Amino acid sequence: MKRSAHFALPVVLVLAGAGFIDSQEPQRPLLSVNVDMVEVTFTVIDGKGKYVHGLRPSDLCIREDGAIQKIVTFAEGRNSAIQLGNVPAESAGNNVFILFDTSSWMYDGFPYALDALAEFVRHLDPADSVAVYKFSRNLFRSVALTTDHGQVIGGIRNTVLGDDTAIYNALLLTLRDAAKVSGRKAIVVFSNGPDNASIVAPDDVRAIAEDEGIPLYVISTREAQRDVISANVFQRLTVGTGGALFWTRTWKDWAEAFTVIREDLASSYTAAYYPAPNANEGFRRINLEIAGDKGKQYRIRTRVGYRPHPHS
């Protein structure tokens, strides 16, 4: 398995003709996110490649366009957020959106793909909420966010293959749904590609992904050199959101990639701030540093920045 990881969304688009099928009503209300508050999810790795645990808000320095920001909420792993300002603390657990490619490109090894996804969910923390989205030409919301992992696995198992692949359409709609949910979030894409049916441009999806700042993990079962366009798009998507990209060829590679993602979810931090006055209406760059000499040896993977909403 070749892993491409760099240590370093709301614009409204109208998708005419992009299919979206909802199999059931959401099992819990989707909470609106305060659009003025910026959330930064990040992982910290030491010089030996191990996750760094036990950091506190006082260890961090977050800058937006060079200006230091005041952290108002902070959380490590799946722990409940610490409230540092007049902001409601989030509950424990992650909200994991699985986006599963069920197009004809996934035909080879499809039963093994189902097994890999089921094992990924089975070993998530019980506090994690999971949603399953499937796509080929259309997007199908198979299981709404729930902590009932047995139901999620059942939804994964109950899958049939489709035809063409519209991954960028599907990713846009998943990002839009995930942005409505409060708390820590991640999107996990399991796909073969390449896209041959989307009406949305990859760079438009990339811009929304950066703006929402939801970590995006992509597991591709296709060799990078066979689809250079998708490889470049996936690279930009994952780097811009603080996620990771995995090129995999066998079911063992899939299992290893899912294990890394689970460890990331358990070891990541989330900090939030209300931006200090900033006249920049374009792309605002986010920089995060760890204080002290040890911080210089750490590698940080996080979002690169965002574009403010017109009304912010």
CATH (domain of 163): 3.40.50.410
List of E strands, 136-257:
139-146, 184-191, 216-220, 244-247
The letter for the amino acid at 151 is Q
- Whether 91 maps to a domain, the answer reads yes
- Whether 47 maps to a domain, the answer reads yes
- Whether 24 maps to a domain, the answer reads yes
What's the rounded Cα separation, in Å, for the pair 177 and 293?
40
60 phi, psi to nearest 5 deg: -105, 150
Per-residue pLDDT of the chain (312 residues; tens, 9 = 90+): 655 443 333 333 333 334 444 544 444 433 333 347 999 999 999 999 999 999 999 999 999 999 999 999 999 986 666 666 555 555 578 999 999 999 987 888 889 999 999 999 999 999 999 999 999 999 999 999 999 999 999 999 998 888 899 999 999 999 999 999 988 899 999 998 688 899 999 889 989 999 999 999 999 987 766 778 778 889 999 999 999 999 998 889 999 999 999 999 999 999 999 999 999 999 999 999 998 887 888 999 999 999 997 754
Determine the structural domain holding residue 51 and report its residue range: 1-8+20-312
Buried b or exposed e, range 167-204, using 16+ CB within 10 angstroms: bbbbbbbbbbbbbebebbbbbbbbbbbbbebbebebee
- Whether 151 maps to a domain, the answer reads yes
Domain count, the chain: 1
Written as six digits, the tokens of 49 are 């490649």
DSSP single-letter state for residue 51: B
CA 66, 244, 114 angle in degrees (round to 5)?
A: 150
- Whether 264 maps to a domain, the answer reads yes
- Whether 14 maps to a domain, the answer reads no
- Whether 129 maps to a domain, the answer reads yes
- Whether 13 maps to a domain, the answer reads no
**Across the chain, which distance is largest between two alpha carbons, in Å?**
54
Provide the whole-model pTM: 0.84
3 close to 246: Cβ distance less than 8 angstroms: yes
203 close to 235: Cβ distance less than 8 angstroms: no
